[in-house]
Amino acid sequence: MTDYIRFFIPAYFILFFVIAFLGISIKVARRIGKNPIVFPKDDTAYACIGRYFKITLLTLFGYTVIIAWIPDQMQQSCIISFLNIPIVKYIGIALMISALIWTVTAQVQMKDSWRIGIDQDAKTRLIIHGLFRFSRNPIFLGMTVSLVGFFLLFPTLIAFLFLTTGSLLMQIQIRLEEEYLVKQHGQIYLAYKKRVARMLSLY
């Protein structure tokens, strides 16, 4: 299975980036006439989160490239042995594939409201249909699940570090976006917030 993992992991994250970030961003930019990537470049805490996101993504990509070159050495270093079994790896693959499909579906359902960051210059439509009936943040949920799947497929301490760091950054970003949505949509968003869980409603 090592050879499969060697090529699956970098191919997956390249595909995730091309479809879920680059492709969707280009499509939305053409429709709205502006770049939907709106992280600021100043010295605020919010801009800092954006920079850490970029650093984490670049580091994750670099790690997956190294896995493709020397998978055995990378897996033997910092391995979490009790998770390094075939059934856990298959669960990881299933989670990663499901997460990609879930994330892209949520992005498509957002239509012109899709942004990477908070667009202070536009009041985007509040999306509450489709996957947003079950999660207030289905895209962040999909990204988190993809990192969980990666950790299960390649259970090393480094993969776990990506999972924890990525999850922390996403949770901070979620709360910043929720503050913005309360200001933009008021009681409509507050009612939606009471009805639907931040990550996943199980009822």
The whole-angstrom separation of Cα 97 and Cα 99 is 5
| pLDDT tens, residue by residue, 47-65 | 999 999 999 999 999 999 9
With beta carbons less than 8 A apart as the criterion, state whether 132 and 155 touch.
Answer: no
20 - beta bridge partners? none
pLDDT value of residue 77: 76
Greater confidence, 71 or 15?
15
Question: What sign does the CA torsion over 18, 180, 59, 167 have?
Answer: negative
Structure tokens at 119: 């667009």
User: Does residue 35 surpass a pLDDT of 80?
Assistant: yes
pLDDT value of residue 4: 83
Phi, psi (5° rounding) for residue 122? -145, 145
Q: Provide the percentage of residues in the chain whose pLDDT is more than 70.
A: 99
How would you classify residue 46: left for phi > 0, otherwise alpha for psi between -120 and 50, otherwise beta? alpha
Strand, helix or coil for residue 155: coil
User: Does residue 203 surpass a pLDDT of 90?
Assistant: no
Residues 6+ apart with CB under 8 A from 171: none
Give the global pTM. Answer: 0.94
pLDDT value of residue 157: 95
